[in-house]
Amino acid sequence: MTNKFITVMEAIGRDALKALTFVETYLPKAAELASLFFPAEAATITGVVNATALIQKAVVLAEQKMAAGGQATGTGLQKAADVISTVEPTVTQLLSEAGISNVDTAYIQKIVDAVVADLNVRDATATATSA
């Protein structure tokens, strides 16, 4: 039983590492490209990219934490609450510095939902491709 648990945890860790590697590889490049197209918005783009990267990392860590506790499914609200409590102060500050005002919990929740949807699509696409 212990070996199966370790195998599952190793698989979760590898998947989480792939997601983080993807984020860390492509998000800065996308921000650089967007800044070239819209130089006047470079500060805003950088703030949004940094906030999004932080949220993506927090989502992956929340997934890992729940999976490690044997609660990989059916805990969406709990994971979302964990992510929000982790990132809200920093994301609020980053977006505020980027000139985006009126950032509140509901606003950040929408970003978290979008990040989760994006990661789910990537995971589903990767699963379908490997099958």
Task: State pTM to two decimals.
Answer: 0.64
The residue range of the domain holding 49 is 2-130
Half-sphere exposure of 48 (CA within 13 A, CB side): 16
Residue that has been written with the tokens 């130089």 in this structure:
39
As a whole number of angstroms, the distance between CA 115 and CA 109 comes to 10
Q: How many domains does the chain have?
A: 1
Task: Work out the number of other CB atoms within 10 angstroms of the CB of residue 29.
Answer: 9
Residue that has been written with the tokens 């989502």 in this structure:
59
How do residues 6-45 score in pLDDT, each as one tens digit? 455 455 555 655 655 665 666 667 777 777 777 787 777 7
Between 109 and 129, the higher pLDDT residue: 109
